[in-house]
Amino acid sequence: MLVRLFPSDFRTNYGGEMENVFRQQHSEIEEEGSLMKLLQLWGETIAGIFATAPRQHWDILKRDVAYTLRMMRKNAGFTVLAVVTLALGIGANTAIFSVVQSVLLRPLPYAEGQQLVVLTQQAKKSGLEDIKFSVHEIEDYRQQSRTLAAVAEHHAMSFILYGHGDPDRVRSAVVSANYFDLFAVTPLLGRTFVPGDDAPGAPPVLILSNQYWKTKFGADPGIVGKVFEMNDKPHTVVGVLPSLPQYPSESDVYMPTSACPFRSSESFISNRDARMMTVFARLHSGFTASQAAADVATISSRLRAAYPRSYPETMGYAAETSPLQEELTRHARPTLLVLLAAAGFVLLIACANVANLMLARMSRRERELAVRTALGAGRGRLLRQLLTESFVLALMAGTLGLLFAFNSLHLLTDFAARLTPRAHEIKIDGPVLGFALLAAFVTSIVFGTLSALAARANLSSSLKEGTPGAGTTRQAGTVRNVLIVGQVAFSFMLLAGAGLMLRSLLQILQVDPGFAPQHVLAMRTTFNSSGPRREFVAVINKTLAQVQAQPGVQSAAFSSIYPLEPEVVAQGAQGMAAEFQVEGRELAAGEAPPAGSFTVVSPDYFRTLGIPLKEGRMFTERDGAWWQVSSSPEGALAKGFSAVAMINQAMKHRLFPNESALNKRISLDGGDSWLVIVGVVGDVKEFGLDQPAAPEVFYPQTEGPNPTTLIVRTASDPSAVADAIVRAVHEIAPQTAVSHVLTLEHARAESVASPRVTAGLLSLFAGLALFIAGAGIGGTMALTVTQRTKEIGVRLALGAPPGNILRMVLKQAMALAGLGVVLGLLWGLALTRLIKSLLFQVKPGDPATFFAVAAVLLITAAIASYLPARRAAEVDPLSAVRSE
Amino acid sequence: MVKAKEPGSYLPLTEATFHILVALADGEKHGYAILKEVVRRTGGKVRPSAGTLYGNLARLEESGLISESALRPDISLDDERRRYYRITDLGRAVAVAEAERMEEAVMQARAKKLFRKPRLT
């Protein structure tokens, strides 16, 4: 019979009756001999069971839930503790999982995003991982590849946009016309680029990003067709993008390659070595990313054979492809997985703790459960009640945890933005909700079963013994001890991980940046200059004089970048590196040419940043200013004028380890022109405090590209004079766009934000774990003392000194904690290896950290068990013995 | 114990529930007898299956409208498994309240001349 579908209670109560009734109906109809009626009876009965059974289950569930809620209200303390403990665990997991889901798991928000790949070119022997592509190269890959259906290019530039209020510095993405087709983006307004938009001489057009359109133009629906001036040319807006995450970087406007003055110049296009562009491609359907990688590698070797001058053997050129999604999340993956594991540990500890709490409560509820058993409740029925209780608890915790996760989302988005461009996609979506629910469900099963199983063991014995509270069997005690040891061990691992990250962070913070960031302000200043260099230099010199005249300003300088500038740190030393040659040095076969980052600086740059001079002299106003000597550069050279450069110590050690660097000459253009080294300055952590000082070359503002950053050292708080400085700049050059105003201390703090937040989150998790484990130890010991009150009373009555009792309880707690520490130590040694890539100058098995963690845990255990131990020692032997 | 509530708070009853209460109004019965009476009384229009019958009985017992009878008539005739149910005072009050509710509803419908007056033949 289908009676099995009913809840067991109902079955025992009514199962036999129902069978009876059915049999009678059956036999009656059999007498009538109507087969139809018989079948009808069967049908109706079966349908009836299916209709009734769920209702019965639902009724029981309602009753159990109502009972559970009543119990919870009665034990508010226990309920709050358990719900909050679990909620923290579930919340931490849900929050981290929302990041993992949004960044690592969810497909890219483009049609067939898995078909998108990014191409990278490396010069492996020079240690350059990403040297970008030149126009010729892009054309070659486009034409020769079998696997790539479409190839698009992208590079980022800043331009000034006129015609809408103040001149606005806009982040511009310069892309090929097929860029948006490749990503399958449909515009919100107007159109995207069409073939021909990027043809040489085509009228310049613009597409606005959704964000820029909203913030700058108030989402003006009539924006398409408006004309703005950029790079001295009118640009027509043809479209607005939908709100989409932008890869590889956030841009305000998009323009076709023909509109970028650099990208469209004859010399740039014809130069195979002018590599500036990032290349994206969409695979032909049916090809995999690895097939594309092989295809691209083949083309690369073909190009190396065809153009040996552009791909010197000594550089080790190569090209690769990788799936776009992988590329965008490469830096985030290890950190996120570590955090997810840490959050998982917290939840496990929370589970163990709540199971312990429930066990403790169970020992007090033994009599209740025993009475219910005696009244005829089956074991299954009781188990069901207990599981319902734990599920209700977990559901409440899950809801609260989701709330925690929801509130921490902003923080996590900011954090993840340092690791991946996908951070803005982070949200709590269906899968995340599902995850939270699953976490709550699994959690309830884990701790519910743990406590229910232990309770099962007790039930039969407790009534017989008739001593509630004292009747906890050895089995339940063992379960509790195992749970405590587990909590301590997992806490150890979390603490060790957090400890290592913190030590690593401290190490980074102690790194001498090589400059004095205090009281220094930096801002990006883009002059509208298309005139000759000497005019530009005159303007910036006048600007510097005006800025220096402001009260509170000590010194000021212009440069192309400044140390720890956020964008520069993001790009890394390699993104800034250029190759050059040293006069009189031939490269040996297979030797890579020297490379370094080149920075344009005005004379006071080093003084303003507090970078010490080690050898030779600083730049002066006359350096590079050939027009002060002759009417042409050639004339100046003929009169003995020389272009100059300075290098840092890292460069000196690489190039001239055993001789003076002064008066040596280097060339960036294959020997057409030379720079004389006039000075050596101290090393600066230009690209990140955790990076080794990169070899650097500096040249005066009169050479190279325009400096774009104004750096000002002030006597006191630099933010206070920021406005005055901006006004001073505008007094001299009103058309200058000023942006990214930042103190260098802020920039420095920003550069370590990622390890700081990782360390912070891990510490938070570890702190939670420590708190939970401490509470667990204290609670368990308190329970043990309560249960052993009688025994302790007898001991005291027999003359045991209270000190012994105190020691006895402490010893028991410390034995458990000690075992947990040993286990945690062993697992921790194995597991912390996995976070090696996140550590800076700290070994995964750092003895000091592990020792400190062990000490912290043992001290916590001692403190947590001291109160119960003292209570044990203060037991009044008479009342204890009498109480039973 | 279930708190005694106003009979009105149980209304309206489902058709099967009402007929079970009516079937028990004139004395204690066991499950099968209730079933047969309900079928007979309604001319087969209400025909609960074994499952629904005991589902309803369980819920009625739960809410205190019926109770299991301790008395078993004539042990020799009695199947030991057979449980007898009787209507409680509350159950009776609820059944009456339901009947009054329905009567009231019928009156309302008549007042609107929704259906013919019964012929006095």
Asked if A48's CB is within 8 angstroms of B51's CB, the reply is yes
Residue A577 banded pLDDT, cuts 50, 70, 90: low
Q: Which amino acid is at B57?
A: L
Question: Between chains, do A16 and B81 touch, taking CB under 8 Å as contact?
Answer: yes
SS3 at position B56: helix
Helices (H), A639-752: 649-655, 718-732, 744-751
In angstroms, what separates the C-alpha of B23 from chain A's closest C-alpha?
Answer: 16
Closest residue to A45, CB basis, from B31, B49, B62: B49
Query: Which residue in the set A10, A22, A55 is minimally distant from B50, CB to CB?
Result: A22
B59 in contact with chain A, both atoms CB, cutoff 8 A: yes
Name the residue facing B49 among A44, A55, A59 (closest C-beta).
A44
Characterize the bridge pairing of strands A205-208 and A148-162.
unpaired
Set of chain A residues whose Cβ sits within 8 Å of the Cβ of B35: 21, 25
Please, which pLDDT band fits residue A469 given cuts at 50, 70 and 90? very low
Q: Tell me what pLDDT residue B79 has.
A: 54
A116, A183 contact by CB (below 8 A): yes
Contact status of B48 with chain A (Cβ, < 8 Å): yes
Tell me if A56 and B53 make a contact (CB, 8 A cut-off): no
Q: Between A263 and A515, name the one with better pLDDT.
A: A515
- In percent, how much of chain A has pLDDT > 70? 92
Q: Cβ-count burial of A196 within 10 angstroms (0-12 exposed, 13-18 middle, 19+ buried)?
A: exposed
- CB neighbourhood size of A390 (10 A): 25
- Sign of the Cα torsion A420, A424, A428, A434 reads negative
| Rounded Cα–Cα distance for residues A766 and B53 (Å) | 57
Nearby residues of B61 by Cβ (< 8 Å), 6 or more positions away? B67, B68, B85
Q: Tokens in use for A513?
A: 């940046």
Question: What torsion, rounded to 10 degrees, do the Cα atoms A181, A187, A191, A197 define?
Answer: -40
Q: Are A103 and A423 in contact (CB under 8 A)?
A: yes
**With 50 as the cut, is the pLDDT of residue A471 above it?**
no
User: What is the rounded CA–CA span in Å between residue A637 and residue A629?
Assistant: 9
B46 near A CB under 8 A: no
What are the distances in angstroms from CA A689 to CA A389, A577, A754? 52, 18, 12
What is the identity of the amino acid at A101? Q
Backbone phi, then psi, for A676, in 5-degree steps?
A: -95, 130
DSSP character string of A353-400? HHHHHHHHHHHHHHHHHHHHHHTT--HHHHHHHHHHHHHHHHHHHHHH
Q: Does B81 touch chain A (CB under 8 A)?
A: yes
- Any alpha helices (H) in A511-639, and if so which ranges? 533-548, 566-576, 605-609, 633-638
Chain A contact for B34 (CB, 8 A cutoff): no
Give me the residue from A16, A21, A56 closest to B53, CB to CB.
A21
- Alpha-carbon gap, residue A82 to A803, rounded angstroms: 33
Which of A70-74, A435-439, B73-77 bottoms out in mean pLDDT, i.e. has the lowest?
Answer: B73-77
Question: Which residue from A291, A416, A327 is spatially nearest to A118, judged by alpha carbons?
Answer: A327
How many Å separate Cα A553 from the centre of its chain?
38
Q: Give the three-class secondary structure for A12.
A: helix
CB pairs under 8 A between A and B: 65
CA A249 to chain centre: 17
Would you place residue A434 in the very low, low, confident or very high pLDDT band (cuts 50, 70, 90)?
A: confident
Burial A429-468 (b: 16+ CB within 10 A, else e): eeebeebbbebbeebbbbbbebbbbbbbbbbeebbeeeeb
What is the per-residue pLDDT for A851?
93
CA of A14, closest CA in chain B: separation in Å? Answer: 7
φ and ψ at A810, to 5 degrees?
Answer: -60, -40
Contacting residues of B for A51, CB less than 8 Å apart = 51-52, 55
pLDDT of A162 over the 70 cut? yes
Chain A nearest-CA distance from B65, in A, is 17
Residues of B in contact with A10 (CB under 8 A): 54, 58
Three-class SS of residue A515?
coil
Test the B interface: residue of A5, A11, A17, A58 with most B CBs within 10 Å? A17
Inter-CA distances, A882 with A365, A790, A801, Å: 23, 9, 20
- As given in the structure block, the two tokens for residue A668 are 């960036």
Instruction: Judge: A18–B50 Cβ closer than 8 Å, yes or no.
Output: yes
Categorize the per-residue pLDDT at A649 as very low, low, confident or very high, splitting at 50, 70 and 90: very high
CA of A70 vs chain B CAs: smallest distance (Å) = 15
CA distance A206 to A255: 5
Of B32, B48, B54, the CB nearest to A14: B54
User: Could you tell me the pLDDT band of residue A546, with boundaries at 50, 70 and 90?
Assistant: very high
A467 pLDDT band (50/70/90 cuts)?
very low
Beta strand A643-648 with A675-681: parallel, antiparallel or unpaired? Answer: parallel
A741 in Cβ contact with A726 (< 8 Å): yes
Closest CA to A690 of A598, A752, A760: A752
Residues in chain B with CB shorter than 8 Å from the CB of A16 are 81
Residue A881: both structure tokens together: 């013995």
Secondary structure string (H, E, C) spanning A812-852: HHHHHHHHHHHHHHHHHHHHHHHHHHHCCCCCCCCHHHHHH
Q: Is there a contact between A861 and A853 (Cβ–Cβ < 8 Å)?
A: no
Which pLDDT does position B5 carry in this prediction? 67
Quote the minimal CA–CA distance from B51 to chain A in Å: 5
Q: What pLDDT is stored for residue A67 in this prediction? A: 82
Please give chain B's pLDDT, 121 residues, in tens: 444 567 778 878 888 888 888 888 888 888 888 888 888 888 878 777 877 888 888 888 888 888 887 666 555 555 555 778 888 888 899 888 888 888 888 888 888 877 665 555 4
Q: What pLDDT does A617 receive?
A: 93
- Token representation of residue A715: 């006597």
Three-class SS state of A593: coil
The arithmetic mean of pLDDT across residues A852-871, rounded, is: 89
CA distance A12 to chain B (A): 11
Residue A614 has pLDDT above 90, yes or no: yes
Residues of chain A neighbouring B51 (CB-CB closer than 8 A): 18, 45, 48-53
Identify the pLDDT of residue A355.
81
Predicted confidence (pLDDT) per residue in A140-154, tens digit? 999 998 899 899 999
In which band, very low, low, confident or very high, does the pLDDT at A571 lie, cut at 50, 70 and 90? low
Relative orientation angle of helices A753-787 and A789-797, to the nearest 10 degrees: 60
In chain B, residues with a C-beta closer than 8 Å to the C-beta of A50 are 51
How many Å apart are CA A694 and CA B113, to the nearest integer?
A: 100
Q: How far apart are the CA of A38 and the nearest CA of chain B, in angstroms? A: 13
- pLDDT surpassing 80 at residue A333: yes
CB A606 within 8 A of CB A667: no
Specify the residue for token string 């108030």.
Answer: A218
Contacts of A301 (CB under 8 A, 6+ apart): none
Least confident among A282-296, A345-359, A471-485: A471-485
Whether B82 sits inside 8 A of A17 (CB atoms) is yes
| A59/B62 touch (CB, cutoff 8 Å), yes or no | yes
- Per-residue pLDDT at A457 exceeds 60: no
Which site among B3, B14, B40, B54 would you substitute to test the A interface, given the most A Cβ atoms closer than 10 Å to its Cβ? B54
Are the Cβ atoms of B49 and A20 closer than 8 angstroms? no
pLDDT tens, residue by residue, A767-793: 988 988 888 888 888 877 877 888 888
Selected residue of A13, A29, A52, A67 to mutate for chain B interface (largest B Cβ count, 10 A): A52
- Sign of the torsion formed by the C-alpha atoms of A266, A269, A271 and A274: positive
Containing A485, the helix (H) or strand (E) segment is helix A474-510
Chain A positions in Cβ-Cβ contact with residue B52 (cut-off 8 Å): 48, 51-52
Among B58, B81, B83, select the one facing A10 at the smallest CB separation. B58
Instruction: Name which of B3, B34, B35, B49 to mutate to probe chain A: the one with the most chain A Cβ atoms within 10 A of its Cβ.
Output: B49
DSSP-assigned letter for residue A308: T
The residue among A14, A42, A64 with the most chain B CBs within 10 A of its CB, best to mutate, is: A14
Q: What is the mean pLDDT of chain A?
A: 83
Q: What is the pLDDT of residues A671-725, one digit of tens each?
A: 777 889 999 999 999 888 888 888 899 988 776 667 778 999 999 888 888 889 9
**Cα gap A124→A490, rounded to integer Å:** 42
The dihedral built from the CA positions of residue A304, A309, A311 and A314, taken in this order, carries a sign that is positive
ipTM above 0.85, yes or no: no
Which among A353, A341, A339 is positioned nearest to A771, based on CA atoms?
A353
Look at residue A556 in the predicted model and tell me its pLDDT: 94
The whole-angstrom distance between B100's CA and the closest CA on chain A is 29
* A372, burial (CB in 10 Å: exposed 0-12, middle 13-18, buried 19+): middle
DSSP label at residue A2: G
Cβ separation A51–B52 shorter than 8 A: yes
DSSP notation for A442-472: HHHHHHHHHHHHHHHHHHHHHHHH--TTTT-
- Partners of residue B54 in chain A, C-beta under 8 Å: 10, 14, 17-18, 21, 52
Residue A107, SS3? Answer: coil
- The proportion of chain A whose per-residue pLDDT surpasses 90, expressed as a percent, equals 18
